[in-house]
Amino acid sequence: MSEEKRPERREEGRFHVSLSEEQLNADRSSVDMQQYANIGASSRRDEVQAELAAARNVQARHAEQREAREHRKRNRVKGRKNRRIFTLTWVIMVVLVSLTVSSYLISGSN
C-alpha cells in the first residue's frame, strides 16, 4: 500500500541528445570560434576606442597649447600698441602743460 500512495516522480530537466563525435566537435569549434571572434572584436573595438580617445586627448591638449601661444602673442601685440598710445599720450600732456606754463610765465599773472 505504501507504494500506491506515493506519487510518481518525474525526472525534469533530463533529456537525451544523440550526436556523433564529429557533430559535437564541429558544433563546439564553431561556437568557440564565434565566441572568440566576438571577444576579439569587442576587445579590438575597445582598443580602437581607447586609441581614439587618447588621440582626441592629445589633439585637445595641442589645441589648448596652440590657443595659449596665440593668446600670449596677441597680448604682446596689444601690449606694444598700448605702450605706444600711453607714451604718445604722456608726450602730448607734457607738451600741453609746458605750453600752458610757458604762456603763464611770459604773459604774467595780470
Residue for cell digits 601685440? 77
Q: What is the DSSP letter of 20?
A: -
Residue-level pLDDT at 84:
93
Angle (nearest 5°) at CA 39 between 38 and 40:
90
Distance CA 101, CA 39 (A): 91
The answer to pTM > 0.85 is no
Q: What is the pLDDT along the chain (110 residues), one digit of tens a residue?
A: 455 555 555 556 666 667 677 766 665 555 555 555 566 667 788 888 888 888 899 999 999 999 999 999 999 999 999 999 999 999 999 999 999 999 888 887 65
